Structure 1
Amino acid sequence: MELKRTLMRAAVSRPGVLLAVSPGATRQRLAVEAELARRGWPCASGPAEADLLVIVGDREGEAESEGGDWESDWVAGLWQGIPAPKARVWVTDPERAADALDSGLADLERGEHEDDHAHDEHHEHHEHHEHHEHQQNDDTAPHSDHSGHDMHGGHHGHAGHDMGLVEGLPMADRADDRDGLRLDVLHVPLGPVLADWPAGLILRLALQGDLVQEVTVEPVTAPPSPYPPFWDEPWLRTAAGEHVSRGDAARRLCAAHLDSLGRFFAVTGWDDMAARTRHVRDRALAGATAAELTSLVSPLIRRAQRSRTLRWLTTGLGTLPAEQAHQRGVTGPALVADGDAYGRMLVWLDAVGRSAAACDVTEALDAAEVVGPRGRLDTPIPPSKALLDSLPRLLEGTDFACARIIVASLDPDLDELTHEQAPRAVHSHG
């Protein structure tokens, strides 16, 4: 019992954090991720592994919209899935990320002590009940447990079956496959909250076996933001008439691609590389010189380019020829790559190397250069909207295990969909 309490306290001191990021909150997310890395707190892949729910984004997102209530729809669902002791905090100001995490830790510690007290009372009652029961039964009789738990502590209850759920997944329908056989069709939602997943993206997949048969893209409804998307900010400010240096734009581009690469490495299972990449991203955003950044990105680029495993895992996935990309309005790295997920990663790596070397340039950014990390910003369709529109064709017919790699290789930024285009000048947020 004492060992269990010690383990619980150790977990509380280094809690698993589940990030729930709303579209338009990239700046806040980056601040939270940097602080988590500094503290060594792990990010949870789902509610069952989490202790602390960190909701990232403006509280305007709580307002009801056509898509439902932001808080009650999915944040409340995440909260219910986290086992106690648990806590949740909301980060709206990137400058207060550390304070929010401190507050969450304090709430966890209070909850842990309350659980200890409740557990002590339950344990004392259980010992008394057990002693009374043993006086009435033969000690050698086989013990039959009808409490609803299996040998591993799992539940045999039927909660959720009326809703067509089994272990959180929808029940399968039936449909014909290409051979005329009747196969199960499983409808599976991905998002909006997954580790290493574009904030606010929901994909609804229809699976037959391990193959993705149909894909529907549903961005989370979020309030429009008057502020420019964080990654596109230098180019949009320049287009609005502000002075932005080429070095500042190169620094933002370098950090944006490092952020995308961090997701890409993480979903391929290369966690160490993902952590290193995010560290360099944070150094870029913190103002590291071109010399320092170049010394940091060069070994990352070489390591990724030389990885045979990474090439084997990602070659041939999500092939998007340049001609088709152009027809769909795709610009930027996905158009330049003219190929698969591996090719898109190589384009990012090349851009990271060039932009890291240019981040100290002081001359003004040309107002005609309105190409952000995902593509051109002077078109009616945001670059990430074209990427989202391309996802169904790239995912349909692929193996389910490859879906997240394909999504990460495009890394659409849903902040671009929340930005209110206005004729007035664009001002820096924060």
Structure 2
Amino acid sequence: MELRRALVRAAVSRPGVLLAVYPGATRQRLAVEAELARRGWPCVSGPAEADLFVILGDREGEDEAEGEGGEGDWVAALWHGIPAPKARVWVTDPGRVADALDSGLADLVRGEHGNDHVPDAPDSHHEHHEHHEHHEHHEHQQNGDHPTPPSEHGGHDMHGGHHGHAGHDMGLVEGLPMADRADDRDGLRLDVLHVPLGPVLTDWPAGLILRLALQGDIVQEAAVEPVTAPPSPHPPFWDEPWLQAASGERISRGDAARRLCAAHLDSLGRFFAVAGWDDLAARTRHVRDRALAGAAAAELTSLVRPLIRRAQRSRTLRWLTTGLGTLPAEQARQRGVTGPALVADGDAYNRMLVWLDAVGRSAADCDVTEALDPAEVVGPRGKLDTPVPPSRALLDSLPRLLEGTEFACARIIVASLDPDLDELTHVPALGTVHSHG
């Protein structure tokens, strides 16, 4: 009993929050992340570290979904993996995030869900690849000036600690992936380990499941599998200004620039976090939140300039990300890629530089009142007036970029493309920009 009280007191002071974000819930995610930052509550990487489970998204399809309480199997698996005391809330209204978190905290204090059954199996959902170890920080990481460099190129632990696999049990037996045997690229006979990543990971595209076949540390095969989500008539949050302008609404160029600036800052925050630069990731997300809160162009410009300068000058960041996920412009064009990944004409580092440049330009334009040209239907990830959404082309490009790379580099490559699966759930009304499902 005393131990339980101690656990509750620790959880109440600063509860660890595990986020489960459905596609289409970007607005809710941003509101929750901003509120968590204000409260100082940490986001955790897996169920074992969580006290409060926050599910984000529309509940229209909840009754049809499988799993406990109507949620999908992966959500139920995450909930069962959280040790008591625990509580959960579902956030559907971005304007009531504070109320939802307060309600979850109250449930946690009361032990509302403290007696729920927790599986007896060892907690291996997000720590079953211990051969990727954390590496010591260099001295300059202590003052937050650079990301933490690994002992190998891009070699971050992707299943334990900060980048833990906050996973589900798809493709697992007793919590562990099954291994086959096959010839590797050198003709040797090695175990093939099948590893699912997603759909819930910190700094991971919401709703994305990536299935990898590994031999040693090398990705032999990769397959993309988006989480099934009900179609939504609402435009994707990041694409909203351009789609509204195309449908006849008057949208200012400043509003579109503000959304573009925030979208790329959101992507950069994920990119820096996955590369191990937590300090810059937090600062980047703060500026993102200021942009979305309506900060003036002068303030935003003064905030983004030092971020851009630090990222561009970091030799460690360049070393970590150069050569990863190289996508030449010609190949990108053939695959239907139309956004920053096409402009970058290169690797993960080049794609980051394109984002940084766009952030600087868009921050300066946030106060422009002139109307956005309705023919300018280009969102943060590419053209929106094509039959295929831009993020679909990014997802289609992922397998080839991942195959043959080190497993520890996979998350950096994914973060450098940052596909928005909200675009895959959008079903426009007849007569609007495009008609993909």
1:208 paired residue number: 215
Change over 3 Å in CA distance of 1:405–1:67 after alignment to 2: farther
Change over 3 Å in CA distance of 1:70–1:351 after alignment to 2: farther
- The yes-or-no answer on 1:173 pairing with 2:190 is no
Contact 1:67–1:221 (8 Å) recurs in 2: no
CA distance in 2, matches of 1:13, 1:257: 33
Residue in structure 1 matching 2:396, options 389, 400, 407: 389
CA distance in 2, matches of 1:60, 1:399: 40
TM-superposed deviation, 1:12? 2.4
- The yes-or-no answer on 1:307 pairing with 2:311 is no
TM-superposed deviation, 1:91? 0.1
Change over 3 Å in CA distance of 1:374–1:113 after alignment to 2: closer
1:101 paired residue number: 101
* Structure 1 or 2: more helix by fraction: 1
Partner of 1:281, secondary structure, is helix
TM-superposed deviation, 1:424? 5.0
Paired residues for 1:123-138 under 5 Å: none
1:248 paired residue number: 255
* Per-residue deviation, residues 20-76 of structure 1 (Å, max 9, x unmatched): 000001001100000000000000101111111100001023143699997141111
Paired residues for 1:392-403 under 5 Å: 392-403=399-410
* Per-residue deviation, residues 367-421 of structure 1 (Å, max 9, x unmatched): 1111100000011110000000000000000000000000000000000000002
CA distance in 2, matches of 1:70, 1:395: 34
TM-superposed deviation, 1:179? 2.8
2:30 paired residue number: 30
Instruction: Give the number of the structure whose alpha-carbon radius of gyration is greater.
Output: 1
Paired residues for 1:28-427 under 5 Å: 28-64=28-64, 71-111=71-111, 165=173, 168-424=175-431
TM-score normalised by the chain length of structure 2: 0.83
Contact 1:341–1:406 (8 Å) recurs in 2: yes
Letter in 1 for 2:30: L
Contact 1:211–1:400 (8 Å) recurs in 2: yes
Contact 2:304–2:360 (8 Å) recurs in 1: yes
Contact 1:65–1:221 (8 Å) recurs in 2: no
Deviates more, 1:414-423 or 1:347-356: 414-423
CA distance in 2, matches of 1:225, 1:88: 24
CA distance in 2, matches of 1:77, 1:364: 47
Contact 2:238–2:263 (8 Å) recurs in 1: yes
Letter in 2 for 1:54: V
TM-superposed deviation, 1:11? 2.7
Letter in 2 for 1:254: C
Contact 1:67–1:220 (8 Å) recurs in 2: no
CA distance in 2, matches of 1:114, 1:313: 43
Letter in 2 for 1:412: P
Partner of 1:224, secondary structure, is coil
TM-score normalised by the chain length of structure 1: 0.85
Contact 1:66–1:221 (8 Å) recurs in 2: no
Letter in 2 for 1:283: R
Letter in 2 for 1:27: R
Letter in 1 for 2:197: L
CA distance in 2, matches of 1:71, 1:5: 30
* Per-residue deviation, residues 126-181 of structure 1 (Å, max 9, x unmatched): xxxxxxxxxxxxxxxxxxxxxx99xxxxxxxxxxx9x9635x23121111112322
Change over 3 Å in CA distance of 1:21–1:164 after alignment to 2: closer
2:161 paired residue number: none
Change over 3 Å in CA distance of 1:84–1:328 after alignment to 2: same
CA distance in 1, matches of 2:6, 2:366: 48
Change over 3 Å in CA distance of 1:234–1:164 after alignment to 2: closer
1:18 paired residue number: 18
Which ranges of structure 1 fall in alignment gaps of 5 or more residues? Answer: 116-147, 150-160
Contact 1:201–1:217 (8 Å) recurs in 2: yes
Letter in 2 for 1:294: T
Change over 3 Å in CA distance of 1:314–1:204 after alignment to 2: same
* Per-residue deviation, residues 189-237 of structure 1 (Å, max 9, x unmatched): 0010110000000011000010000011100110000010000000000
1:134 paired residue number: none
Q: What RMSD, in angstroms, separates the aligned Cα atoms of the two structures? A: 2.4
Deviates more, 1:35-44 or 1:3-12: 3-12
Change over 3 Å in CA distance of 1:418–1:107 after alignment to 2: same
Letter in 1 for 2:406: D
Q: Percent identity?
A: 86
Change over 3 Å in CA distance of 1:397–1:415 after alignment to 2: same
Letter in 2 for 1:288: A
Letter in 1 for 2:302: S
Contact 1:250–1:359 (8 Å) recurs in 2: yes
Which ranges of structure 2 fall in alignment gaps of 5 or more residues? Answer: 116-120, 123-168
CA distance in 1, matches of 2:48, 2:232: 32
Partner of 2:79, secondary structure, is helix
Deviates more, 1:224-233 or 1:3-12: 3-12
Partner of 1:61, secondary structure, is coil
Change over 3 Å in CA distance of 1:66–1:318 after alignment to 2: farther
Partner of 1:59, secondary structure, is coil
CA distance in 1, matches of 2:172, 2:377: 48
Deviates more, 1:288-297 or 1:1-10: 1-10
